[in-house]
Amino acid sequence: MIVRDCSSFGLPGCIRISCGTEAETRRAVETLNDVLAELEAAEV
């Protein structure tokens, strides 16, 4: 899954997610939530 890293816009730490179809958007949110949870777990 590819989203837009916003460092080039001057916004490090931000991503821009395009609105996909319903199925794509649901999958994108699930995938990102998994990644965010993993990152949080790695920090503890």
As measured in angstroms, the least distance from the Cβ of 30 to another protein is 8
As measured in angstroms, the least distance from the Cβ of 34 to another protein is 10
- Evaluate whether 1 touches 28 at the Cβ level (below 8 Å): yes
Q: Which of residues 13-42 bind another protein (CB under 8 A)?
A: 13-22, 24-29, 32-33, 36-37, 39, 42
The pair of three-digit structure tokens given for residue 41, joined into one six-digit string: 């777990």
- Evaluate whether 13 touches 3 at the Cβ level (below 8 Å): no
Q: Which amino acid is at 28?
A: A
- Evaluate whether 39 touches 13 at the Cβ level (below 8 Å): no
Does residue number 10 form part of the binding site for another protein (CB under 8 A)?
yes
Q: Which residues contribute to the site for another protein (CB under 8 A)?
A: 1-4, 6, 8-22, 24-29, 32-33, 36-37, 39, 42-43
